[in-house]
Structure 1
């Protein structure tokens, strides 16, 4: 076989291997980022001291009417006033 072709084939394989390694690294980095984001979301949710049901209700209400930003805990305070 032509030596130039063989050289190109080796370079192609080497490049494919590097791409695969970089894709694996990218996947790991994306997983780490997602985990950190999830940790942040949990910390924020806990800071409002909502029960899991209150949090779920709040998130559902935001999907239905995103313009309302009052948390369930704040609604109770408003009704009590």
Structure 2
């Protein structure tokens, strides 16, 4: 089932184990994609997280709309494709 906006929640410290596990199993191509960096920068760039199709999906706020997850923050972390998630 594709991810819905209602599936997203703000990135929180409680997500550390989940996010770190996915990033360990599915290493990102960019080194900035770590739980520590995502968590540290969440005040400057609000970040939401959803789990769908055995993958994690990150969304960040659109400029001027900090309370609404609107922009995908890279591809899903896991085996799902962007097409499958959306």
The two structures have a TM-score, normalised by structure 1, of 0.22
Report the structure, 1 or 2, having the larger helix content. 1
**Higher RCO structure, 1 or 2 (CA under 8 Å, sep 6+):** 2
**CA radius of gyration, larger in:** 1
Report the structure, 1 or 2, having the larger strand content. 2
The two structures have a TM-score, normalised by structure 2, of 0.22
